[in-house]
Structure 1
């Protein structure tokens, strides 16, 4: 059983989704606006959230951004009728882990939540500290340091970097990354990996790290660090 935060202002839709997730065995907290959602998240350790984008007063993008600012790392799926590429990128930049477009089937939402929950449950049992070049990842605390200085990564960015750093110098395919970081290679567009690699690359470069992510043509990506070959 997982604790799910559902944020949807349409009463009928909220009830349908809540009933569906409850029938799956989850404990669902359903609210209709952003303020109530943030209050609920401040007092409950949720395992995942499904948040509608078009909400009164505070959008789902803003809710997600504020959750990440409050260091809430549980997976967030944004739900919206807007399917433009820029909207999806904006949602991911807000800290979301997935983006589901309306109309959607309840079965698809359930499947995507299961994938996110599997990804969260697949916490590494190996060494909690991953080190590569000047990069140090504390997988227990989900904290990153570059040259001893803390650097902020979202949960998905951290998970992606951890997977590639732990595998270095061997490359990992998009399918392998999706399965490890997102919990499934079936329910996600592989281009989401490219987007997150871009985010991580920018943060590594901005921090002046000696570690970089190289594209391996026809395969995927790998972490590169001086002297680590």
Structure 2
């Protein structure tokens, strides 16, 4: 894997290099947010390891720019010192795909990166343009638009949206979504709820009606108009 590390703690960076490089991974690193954003703009990476607390441009802001301005769908593993639900929501809302709480196991970090890259590389449907109402998704370019306005999502967000759009207006159960996103390596019970929250914020918050509907106790579905139940 080619991995971009954006972390201002030199001890953590040294540990990552010492552990990952002997395993054949190629690493680039930046000690601040603006430097990391510049590297992400100039090169293609398999994954980004991103600290939340960075000088100049913090990790949340950087991830938003990565998804929005640069239109990069590169998997992002966010490093955080806190583990509250609010912190997770903030990370996923900014565009992160996974999070790891400091202090962390280097073995676990590599396993999570491999899982993110595996899902990113092997989980795409055949090229097609999907449409539900005024929402479109070009699975070749990963361009999502609603009413003509671009929407940036996380890699997991794209996976969930693709599944919901393909099945719309049918209900997709939580179990089916979790299987599509994580396979047998499912995270804690909050993870899907947090990703759905982030997807709902991106798809529905600025618009006159909500396309993403929760079916209590079952799952989720996408509707094309406000007239659909």
Fold in common (TM above 0.5): yes
8 A Cα contact 1:78 1:96, kept in partner: yes
Matches within 5 A, 1:67-106: 67-68=66-67, 69-106=69-106
Corresponding residue number in structure 2 for 1:206 = 206
Is 2:121 aligned against 1:150? no
Is 2:162 aligned against 1:162? yes
**Runs of 4+ in structure 1 over 4 Å off:** 226-229
Q: TM-score, normalised by structure 1?
A: 0.84
> Where do 5+ consecutive residues of structure 1 fail to align?
none
Corresponding residue number in structure 1 for 2:36 = 37
SS of the aligned residue for 2:5 comes to strand
Corresponding residue number in structure 2 for 1:115 = 115
After TM superposition, give the deviation of residue 205 of structure 1 in Å. Answer: 5.6
Aligned residues: 225
Corresponding residue number in structure 1 for 2:218 = 219
Is 2:6 aligned against 1:7? yes
C-alpha root-mean-square deviation of aligned residues, in Å?
2.6
Deviates most, 217-226 or 138-147? 217-226
> Where do 5+ consecutive residues of structure 2 fail to align?
none
SS of the aligned residue for 2:103 comes to coil
* CA shift in 2, pair 1:42/1:108, >3 Å: same
* CA shift in 2, pair 1:132/1:121, >3 Å: same
Structure 1 CA distance for aligned equivalents of residues 45 and 23 of structure 2 = 16
Corresponding residue number in structure 2 for 1:135 = 135
CA displacement, residues 44-97 of structure 1 (integer Å, 9 cap, x when unaligned): 111210112223333222222222232222111110212232222222222211
After TM superposition, give the deviation of residue 208 of structure 1 in Å. Answer: 4.1
SS of the aligned residue for 1:30 comes to strand
